[in-house]
């Protein structure tokens, strides 16, 4: 692969730092790397491939000469700088949700729709983390028979709320152990020894914004405009790696054995499905790596063409940073 000049927008956040780590791990052909952040982070020193890089100010002029900009910032920052990035001639691979449903912006999971990268007009969107993990798990079934509907429940780790999420979990556990009242700052309620069945604000008929993403983004990524998804997203007291329980309903029946074969051979998946020996996907096993583990595959007892599956994946890596770097690899190739 040819060497390219890369900038990371939002480089000092959790996803931005993970992007740096993954660029190094995957030996991405970086000619120059520029770390862009807000004024409060400017001047920080960060190690990359044995060198010490200085964090620079994110401004319109910072993108000149760049080939690829990896976005790890919030929607407002992505929207603010997108015009300057496109004008500079760079391709903006954006992890925010700002452009995901824009019909002129490809929404890409490299294991599923890599060809969509070719349709970009300067911006490519990285899907929601739970969407990525879920679709990587089920896409092999879709190649055998079109998926018509899914009913999903997510069990999302505290780190999905940013670096402050796990800190709050640990601080609350310490407070409760010591008989103190736990402070609630990051989440709507106490997360220690609790689950919170709300992620995002209300978006449609009682569904939250996070819950609607699996349907809206799934239709676009899998090229299934009629896909129906009913989803419940839950924050759980886990540090890292999201889990999702999914009922997948396909046009034609897929047997459990066939589903296991398909998933075992699917890119980005690992079949971990041996109930008798207590082997199934769990957050502790899937953290800090890029494969989506899939198991608990069984027939759905409410639908003739339904299958139940359980999947886990690292939402900071495959659900965000790694997927973005994989898109950048497609661009370079």
Return the number of other C-beta atoms located less than 10 Å from residue 240's C-beta: 19
189 catalytic? Reply is: no
Is 242 catalytic? The answer is yes
DSSP string, 229-276: EEEEEEE-S-SS-EEEEEEEEESS---HHHHHHHHHTSTTEEE--BGG
Instruction: For residue 103, report the phi and psi dihedrals to the nearest 5 degrees.
Output: -65, -15
The one catalytic residue in 34, 120, 129, 311 is 129
Pair 54, 32: CB distance under 8 Å: no
**Helix, strand, coil percentages in the chain from 3-state DSSP, rounded to 5:** 35, 25, 35
DSSP states of 21-54: HHHHHTT--EEEEEEEE-GGGTT-EEEETTEEEE
Residue closest to 7 by CA, chosen among 60, 45, 79: 60
Which one is catalytic: 34, 120, 233, 242? 242
Measure the CA–CA gap between 143 and 120, rounded to whole angstroms. 24
What is the Cα–Cα distance from 170 to 239, expressed in whole angstroms?
9
> Which residues are part of the catalytic machinery?
129, 242
């Amino acid at each position: 692969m040819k060497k390219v000049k890369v900038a990371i927008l939002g480089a000092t956040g959790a996803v931005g730092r993970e992007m740096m780590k993954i660029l190094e791990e995957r030996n991405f052909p970086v000619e120059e790397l520029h770390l862009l952040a807000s004024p409060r982070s400017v001047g920080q020193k960060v190690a990359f491939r044995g060198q010490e890089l200085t964090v620079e100010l994110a401004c319109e002029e910072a993108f000149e000469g760049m080939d690829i900009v990896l976005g790890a910032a919030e929607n407002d920052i992505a929207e603010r700088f997108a015009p300057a990035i496109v004008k500079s001639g760079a391709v903006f691979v954006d992890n925010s949700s700002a452009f995901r449903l824009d019909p002129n912006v490809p929404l890409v999971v490299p294991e599923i729709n890599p060809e969509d990268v070719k349709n970009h007009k300067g911006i490519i969107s990285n899907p929601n983390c739970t969407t990525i993990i879920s679709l990587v798990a089920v896409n092999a079934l879709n190649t055998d028979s079109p998926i018509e509907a899914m009913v999903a429940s997510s069990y999302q780790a505290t780190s999905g709320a940013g670096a402050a999420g796990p800190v709050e979990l640990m601080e609350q556990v310490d407070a409760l152990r010591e008989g103190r009242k736990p402070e609630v700052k990051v989440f709507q309620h106490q997360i220690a020894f609790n689950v919170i069945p709300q992620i995002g604000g209300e978006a449609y008929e009682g569904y939250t914004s996070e819950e609607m993403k699996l349907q809206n983004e799934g239709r676009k990524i899998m090229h299934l405009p009629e896909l129906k998804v009913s989803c419940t997203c839950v924050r759980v007291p886990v540090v890292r790696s999201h889990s999702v329980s999914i009922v997948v309903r396909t046009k034609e029946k897929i047997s459990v054995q066939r589903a296991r074969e398909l998933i075992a051979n699917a890119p980005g998946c690992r079949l971990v499905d041996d109930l008798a020996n207590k082997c199934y996907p769990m957050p502790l096993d899937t953290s800090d790596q890029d494969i989506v583990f899939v198991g608990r595959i069984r027939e759905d007892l409410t639908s003739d063409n339904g299958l139940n599956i359980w999947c886990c994946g690292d939402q900071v890596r495959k659900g965000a940073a790694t997927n973005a770097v994989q898109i950048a690899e497609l661009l370079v190739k």
